[in-house]
Structure 1
Amino acid sequence: MSEFWGDAPSIEDYWRGIILFGKNVASYKFALAQSLLELAPGGKSIITLEELAQAYARHTLEHLRLCDSQSQQTNVPYPFLEACRRYDRGEISYEELIAITAKEGFKIVLDKFHNVNKAETPMRFFAYERRGAKAIALTDELFGMLEGNQGQNLPQEVDARWRLVETAWELKVSRNLIGVDYDADLELLFVRKPMSRVNITSCRGALNGYQRGKCFYCFGDISIISSATDLTDVDHFFPRVLINDNIAHPIDGIWNLVLACVSCNRGVGGKFDQLPHKRYLERLNTRNEFLIGSHHPLRETLIQQTGDSELKRRSFLERNYNAAKTGRLINSNWQPAFEYPPAF
């Protein structure tokens, strides 16, 4: 976490640390995160548990309908999850669901939300007094984060992370056997099953947090909102023209995908099919190590693709860079005309 946060972490860095690097034995954290991001724009600083329960139950229901493997992770009967299931089966009313959620749904997550690597983050996004409390107080940090350039990207990042985690549960196989692939046409991450495949989430949503919402090359702000004028491109660091040269295999692997602004990727003087200057290889390694530091299944996918130690992964990148530089007549010194201060 210290490597990801750096010396002067931003509000968004602390938030992303919680979402991307926290322990994920259950999805309550993601449901709470989505609820906070939904409710905060309303401007109220005090949110009752009943108000919170409405958003919290709705987000949980949406994901239970996609993947109802939650109880398999906790091995403990949880009244809130059972209430969601009973509501979906028409056995209880909406009012009963919300009442149960407010009473049972927050017993763990409100206390543990800010915990990362067994310690609490220095910055909090809400305050909660457990004894008899019937509300949470949203902090100025949460409001400030949503007013910033990255505010609009955060819901997609949370949802992408949630889908990656629950897909691992859904497949019911060892996480070491899970491989996440990339569909370049649809720009989606997916996993293969016998005779079929499971689409997981947008590649942009899955990667944006690990790049701190910045273009990989120039560190300018990027957006992952499909309707945005500054929608980021998904770029192959090692250009895809190498796909038939047995270089940088797998070329569509997560390890080789970065998010880049349109200007850097395909604008005037853009990268296109060129190989970036070698100094960007260290940046790629850093980004990939952020992914490795996160929990499955992206972690296991990168280990499968590039090596089971940091030394092996560095060697993998160096070896492929040297092969790409000498094996094909492509420019190997591309870099943007301008870069903002480094983000990672």
Structure 2
Amino acid sequence: MEFYQADPTLENYWRGVILFGRNVASYKFALAHALYEVDKTGSDLITLEELAVPFSRHLCEHLKHAPKQITSSKSQYLDTCAGFNQGEVSQSQLIDSTVRRGFGVVLDAFHNVNAAEIDKRFFIDERKTHKGIRLTDNFYLLGERQQYQNLAFETTARWNLVEQAWAMGVSRNLVGVEFDESNQMLFAKVNARRVDITSCCDSLNGYQKGRCFYCYRPISLIPGDAELADVDHFIPWAAREGVANINGVWNLVLACKCCNRGAAGKFAHLPGIKLLERLNRRNEYFIQSKLPLHETIVQQTGRHPAVRKDFLEKNWNAAKVMLFHIWEPNAEGEATF
């Protein structure tokens, strides 16, 4: 995929799995979180029993607020997880069930994106020979990368978005994801009732590969970090009277503080036309990642690439008439999207 081919770092291969891998169950997200947490200071062999503890814990926690974790109607393993939440299944029974039933498909499918395996493997399946998986050098190197601390936030955000799409039934009721600036959250409306989904920053960061949309400087999702990302309206809020759905996900980007509100920052100026082309590419990543951002972008900007591009250009031109001033950032890193 162009996503990681344009910037073939380990974190972007990992993001390819989280953002673009096929979602028929949430097990991929639980496995990612388990791998973040499992003790990696000893052997590179992680037994299924070791992996089962964080894997099952994350699934059980998500089941408490999102009972639908798969696209099929029933799962014996998830029934066990639900039984654990209700106090009907013991911890040892949960771990035993996870070892026997929890990893059946996810270990085989984890590295597959768009019907093909990615070039970088993060673990080798050794269930038949050693009853576990063996972490590769790629995973250890991933842990040393600057962006590693952001990945857990991104994984949770993606999991929350997929859960909400399943809960609403995207085939019957397309999910429209919207932005609440007051609490920096993405939300959806269910029968006129608002449902908060997840952090806007955590959801968008992976698609921007952990970098400021404008200058490519690395940004952070960690609260209190000096490089904590801002959510910014690409077409400024000042143009809201002439731009349709300016609060839509199509118009939201993450920016460093310098670009968003620094001395030479964007403020109410309109980003240049090349940056509009970059926004179009980023929105197409949303399309590729499927539900629910695919459905949201289609609803907000159009069903076909040419229509979506025309939508952006028309709104950019309308904003230009109102705002007049064009703004360009100073590059702080290499172009990665």
Same fold (TM over 0.5): yes
Amino acid at match of 2:330: A
Distance 1:7 1:236, change over 3 A: closer
Structure-1 residue corresponding to 2:299:
304
Structure-2 residue corresponding to 1:174:
171
Distance 1:89 1:158, change over 3 A: same
**1:69 is the counterpart of 2:68:** yes
**1:289 is the counterpart of 2:288:** no
Structure-2 residue corresponding to 1:139:
136
Structure-1 residue corresponding to 2:29:
30
Distance 1:256 1:113, change over 3 A: same
Amino acid at match of 1:13: N
TM-score, normalising length from structure 1?
A: 0.94
Structure-2 residue corresponding to 1:154:
151
Of all paired residues, the percent bearing the same amino acid is 50
TM-score, normalising length from structure 2?
A: 0.96
Structure-2 residue corresponding to 1:237:
234
Secondary structure class of the residue paired with 1:198: strand
Amino acid at match of 1:121: I
Gapped runs of 5+ residues in structure 1?
A: none
Correspondence for 2:319 among 321, 324, 334:
324
Pick which of 36-45 and 295-304 moved more: 36-45
Alignment size in residue pairs: 337
Distance 2:220 2:170 in 1: 34
Distance 1:266 1:7, change over 3 A: closer
Amino acid at match of 2:307: K
**Does structure 2 retain, via aligned residues, the 8 Å contact 1:175–1:297?**
no
Structure-1 residue corresponding to 2:256:
261
User: How far did residue 158 of structure 1 move?
Assistant: 0.5
Distance 1:52 1:288 in 2: 35
Correspondence for 1:336 among 329, 332, 335:
329
Correspondence for 2:116 among 119, 133, 136:
119
**Does structure 2 retain, via aligned residues, the 8 Å contact 1:210–1:287?**
yes
User: How far did residue 87 of structure 1 move?
Assistant: 1.1
User: How far did residue 21 of structure 1 move?
Assistant: 0.6
Correspondence for 2:308 among 281, 288, 313:
313
Correspondence for 2:242 among 220, 223, 246:
246
Runs of 4+ displaced beyond 6 Å: none
Amino acid at match of 1:340: G
Alignment of 1:274-285 (within 5 A): 274-285=269-280
**1:5 is the counterpart of 2:1:** no
**Does structure 1 retain, via aligned residues, the 8 Å contact 2:258–2:265?**
yes
User: How far did residue 56 of structure 1 move?
Assistant: 0.3
Amino acid at match of 2:159: W
Distance 1:180 1:37 in 2: 28
Gapped runs of 5+ residues in structure 2?
A: none
Structure-2 residue corresponding to 1:217:
214
Could you give the per-residue CA deviations for residues 191-211 of structure 1, whole angstroms, max 9, x where no partner exists?
012242110000111110100
Alignment of 1:83-102 (within 5 A): 83-102=80-99
**Does structure 2 retain, via aligned residues, the 8 Å contact 1:175–1:300?**
no
Secondary structure class of the residue paired with 1:300: helix
**Does structure 2 retain, via aligned residues, the 8 Å contact 1:40–1:138?**
no
Amino acid at match of 1:314: K
Structure-2 residue corresponding to 1:188:
185
Structure-2 residue corresponding to 1:19:
18
User: How far did residue 4 of structure 1 move?
Assistant: 1.1
User: How far did residue 42 of structure 1 move?
Assistant: 4.5
Could you give the per-residue CA deviations for residues 199-251 of structure 1, whole angstroms, max 9, x where no partner exists?
000011111010011100100100011221210000000000112x232x110
Distance 2:253 2:122 in 1: 29
User: How far did residue 106 of structure 1 move?
Assistant: 0.6
Distance 1:83 1:284 in 2: 44
